Amino acid sequence: MQKRKLGNSGLEVSAIGLGCMGLSFGYGPAVDRQVGIELIRAAVERGVTFFDTAEVYGPFTNEELVGEALAPVRDQVVIATKFGFDHDTEGSPQRGLNSQPANIKRVAEASLKRLRTDVIDLFYQHRVDPEVPIEEVAGAVKDLIGEGKVRHFGLSEPGVGTIRRAHAVQPVAAVQSEYSLWWREPEQEVLPTLEEFGIGFVPFSPLGKGFLTGAISESTTFDSNDFRNSVPRFSPEARKANQALVDLLGTIAASRKVTPAQIALAWLLAQKPWIVPIPGTTKLHRLEENIGAADIELTLDDLQKIEGALASVTVEGARYPEHLQKLVGR
């Protein structure tokens, strides 16, 4: 597996990471714990060194899974986790945002225990909290870095104003946001800002929450616990309309004798050398397919063909329901 550096931070990771959320949360029932451990360790064996989790995934159970799976190889991998939501003492799902400095430090201590480590490699603010100035958030993480409990500071789904203000207090190593062939908004303002400051970019949902793999059609039904049931872009009508994008990907992939998912990931890797996508999966064959994308080099001609083809497709449906969209891009 090739390595990439997340901007100027010096943080080096595998060109493709593993988003671990879906093993515990979000896409239906959690996988059996041992199955999850084996999948994460299979990723390590295949060269993946970058693993993404968060306290809210479960909540808490995903960090515990990642911690157990990676404990034997902790010195070989980079673990990213996140703070910024409120929980009650019983571990119920998030009840709102909380990036108060005291909470950030409390979360860090709890995450260290769950992850079975003495340092968090990359600590993201999960969503921007309008009640707490980003300078205070950055300052709290700076304190944790000074104490040796955190190595790098990250932001998830921030607006460019937040990035600039945070970076002035504590250099931001990486920004994480959704980015893929069917969600290209970061190209407008976020990517130019990251390039200006030398900040790495970590696209989540690089396969469009599974849609770009070609495995989902308008007739696909999701588990009752699958959050895609509430996403406008995944309504049957939107899926039917958006099939044109998947068909297009399939044609391009067939010409290269690869899969649509691999084209989608290779396209992301070709955008900037400091972009590291983190596709998630619960299946070993999908993990191997995703990792294989790192070996696909798209030529300038390939990229121009993809760009031209995409220009003829209009993606239908919002990427988030309204209540979640409000948490993005402050």
Q: Enumerate the active-site residues.
A: 57
Count CB atoms within 10 A of the CB of residue 128. 24
**SS3 assignment, position 105:** helix
Which token pair is 304?
């121009």
Alpha-carbon span 196 to 210, nearest angstrom? 31
Burial class (CB within 10 angstroms; exposed 0-12, middle 13-18, buried 19+) of 80: buried
DSSP per-residue letters across 203-222: EESTTGGGGGGT---TT---
Residues contacting residue 114 through CB under 8 Å, at least 6 positions apart? 55, 60, 63, 64, 67
Alpha-carbon span 111 to 120, nearest angstrom? 8
Place of tokens 């064959």: 285
Which token pair is 28?
């239906």
Nearest to 264 by CA among 250, 274, 282, 275: 250
